[in-house]
Amino acid sequence: MGMSCVRFRGKEIWQADGDIELWLYALAREVEKVPQRSSVLNRAGELWRQEYSTGFGGAPNPHLDELCNSDDCISVIVGVARRALAALVTSPIIPKDELNRAEVGGDFHWTSDGSASGAIELGRAFIELLEGSK
């Protein structure tokens, strides 16, 4: 896997594709826990699921410029990101069976549990990127 760029309003974060896919999985997992989701969260969950499960081997994209077109939308996404980050910090190893069921990485077959250390690093930078744009 290569490196890809997470972009928002002209700023960038470079990270390994696998870390981005794990971060998008963590975000989508948190969206699913929200009982009454706004249209922004519904769309975010759809896009993030599509991106982490495509598995085309490059450029997973969180679509931040599309999703975060107002301060309110940014706040909603930051809230989800904070919960996703807290979940990863609490449980930094994601079981391989869970990753395979969710099809993280598309056709990639996880033979060992996934370490979220890179996704945690990305999650922190992701939140800073969004909060710095307000």
Cα–Cα distance for residue pair 71/131, rounded to 1 Å = 9
Half-sphere exposure of 18 (CA within 13 A, CB side): 13
- Which token pair is 96? 């391989």
- What pLDDT was estimated at residue 57? 61
Range of the domain at 31: 3-131
Residue 133 has pLDDT above 70, yes or no: no
CA angle 65, 66, 70 (to 5 degrees): 75
Helix segments in 11-116, DSSP class H: 17-33, 39-54, 64-67, 71-90, 96-101
Q: Which amino acid is at 90?
A: T
Distance between alpha carbon 37 and the CA centroid of its chain, in Å?
A: 17
User: For 11-23, what is the HEC assignment?
Assistant: EEEEEEHHHHHHH
pLDDT 10s digits, 93-130: 999 999 999 999 998 899 999 999 999 999 999 999 99
How many domains is the chain built from? Answer: 1
Dist. CA 118–CA 84, nearest whole Å: 13
Quote the pLDDT of residue 54. 87
Q: What percent of the chain has pLDDT over 90?
A: 90
Pairing of strands 11-16, 114-115: unpaired
Name, in order, each residue with C-beta under 8 angstroms of 76's C-beta and a sequence gap of 6 or more: 38, 40, 41
> Would you state the pLDDT for residue 55?
72
